[in-house]
A and B are shown apart, each in its own frame.
Chain A
Amino acid sequence: MEETYMTIATVAELLNARILTGEAHSGLEVTSAFACDLMSDVLAYANGYKLLLSGLCNAQVIRTAEMLDMNCIIFVRGKCPDEQMIKMAASNDMVVLRTDYSMFTSSGILYQAGIKGGQM
């Protein structure tokens, strides 16, 4: 099956999301995403993904994404990272988005638009 390449800017548009930092990198293309609130599972299973959706909102989400070289974090359910988290993400050249949609709805919208879950 052909892969769908989507810019982070388009991801933001689809999810009605605000870009909190990293707009300069929003032209980066993604094909797959990982959605999870448990950071140990992100570390265990999300190797190779660029996009992380999470409803957990603390500095360890940014650190986890950093360890895996992820480029974009989407905070779902309206969760809002604090200034320190945004700074940490910015220093790692990440794009941080915030959407009011739930994890399920956000994932569904992206999946329908062609973003895949990849291999476990």
Chain B
Amino acid sequence: MSDNEMVQLKYTVIPDDYNAVGSASSDAKNKLRMVGVPPDILRKVSICMYEGEINMVIHARGGEITVNINPTNIQMILRDNGPGIADINKAMQAGFSTASEDARNLGFGAGMGLPNMKKFSDDMSVETKLGVGTTVTMVVNL
């Protein structure tokens, strides 16, 4: 596969099967590895996307993920039509969570998702509107 053939990946995240959560991140990781993204960058992208994917399932009934492979970075756009984030500053604090017991049973929902995404991405922005949805855009530099 040459770089030219794959510049964008698109995924639909469906919240029905908790066991399947992470399949988009897994697929993206394999494809990015195939086009030669170095392991340390790949891990950062994987952590960001997987935390985001988990968030989409536990907070927002799923959504869409677009991964753009650019010459100098990997950009991930995670868009959902969930409830939106009421207080983004609070949501960015490590340990703050509104997650359900189900999410906690998965090993998540401890208020580390957004902080982890910020920690492992080189740039992150969150656009959110109550009752409309949330779009998280993350960039990891190559």
Chain A residues at the B interface, C-beta cutoff of 8 Å = 37-44, 47, 56, 58-61, 63-64, 66-69, 84
Contact = CB atoms under 8 A, between A and B. Distances in A.
A58 B19 contact: yes
Say whether chain A's binding surface is mostly helix, strand, loop, or mixed: helix
A43 B110 contact: no
Interface stretch (B3-11, B45-53, B63-71): B45-53
Interface residues of B, number: 25
Contacts of A67: 22, 25-26, 29, 43, 46-47, 50
Interface in B85-99: none
Given A58-B106, A58-B107, A41 B26 contact: no
A27 B106 CA distance: 30
The 8 A-B pairs of least Cβ separation, nearest first, read A39-B107, A40-B112, A63-B22, A67-B46, A59-B19, A56-B107, A60-B106, A43-B47
Contacts of A68: 43, 46-47
Given A60-B21, A69-B43, A40 B29 contact: no
Given A40-B116, A44-B116, A66 B29 contact: yes
A61 B18 CA distance: 12
A84 B105 CA distance: 18
28 contacts: A38-B108, A38-B110, A39-B107, A39-B108, A40-B51, A40-B110, A40-B116, A41-B110, A41-B112, A43-B112, A43-B116, A44-B112, A58-B19, A58-B105, A58-B106, A58-B107, A59-B20, A60-B18, A60-B54, A61-B107, A63-B21, A63-B25, A63-B26, A64-B50, A66-B26, A67-B22, A68-B46, A68-B47
